[in-house]
Amino acid sequence: MPTHVRVLLHDVPPVLRGVLVEAAAKHPSIHVIDDTGDGGDGAEAEVVLAVTSDPHQSAVARTLLFTTHARRVALLTPAGRDLVVYDLTSRPVSAVDLPPSELLDIVCRGIDDPDSRR
């Protein structure tokens, strides 16, 4: 069981990235990894958080799940208002208008649970 949930930020604009990194700093169990663009860090992350104009694009989520080998993918709108969380074991979870700290809670919830592993 990991001591930290590693969240890879993929295609997250700088302003939103700063807000998420600041929120993660308040959660000792969440470690944010910046996407280097080479795909190497994704294998190290349990969660990929990506920005897209439509977070309900399940094909985008599936592609990220399989290419990064993460256990969960969260798609977020550029304004940070709409979030959909995908994994291979359950139905997508949608949320709207959450503060960054609560957004990270939802994205990482249960990731340390052995029953949530693929």
> Looking at residue 9, which CATH number applies to its domain?
3.40.50
Q: For residue 116, is it within any domain? A: no
Q: What 8-state DSSP symbol labels residue 86?
A: E
Tell me, yes or no, whether 118 lies in a domain: no
Domain annotation covers residue 24: yes
Residue 17 resides in a domain: yes
| Structure-token pair, residue 18 | 């700063």
- Which pTM does this prediction carry? 0.85
Domain that holds residue 28: 5-111
In terms of Cβ atoms closer than 10 Å to its own Cβ (0-12, 13-18, 19+), residue 20 is buried
What is the count of structural domains for the chain? 1
Q: Which amino acid is at 40?
A: G
Q: Tell me the per-residue pLDDT of 14-67, one tens digit each, with 9 for 90 and over.
A: 999 999 999 999 998 999 998 755 544 455 899 999 999 999 999 999 999 999
CB 20 within 8 A of CB 104: yes
Q: Residue 117: inside a domain, yes or no?
A: no
List, in sequence order, the alpha helices (H) in 69-99: none
Residue 92 lies in a domain: yes
Token pair 């969960």: residue:
72
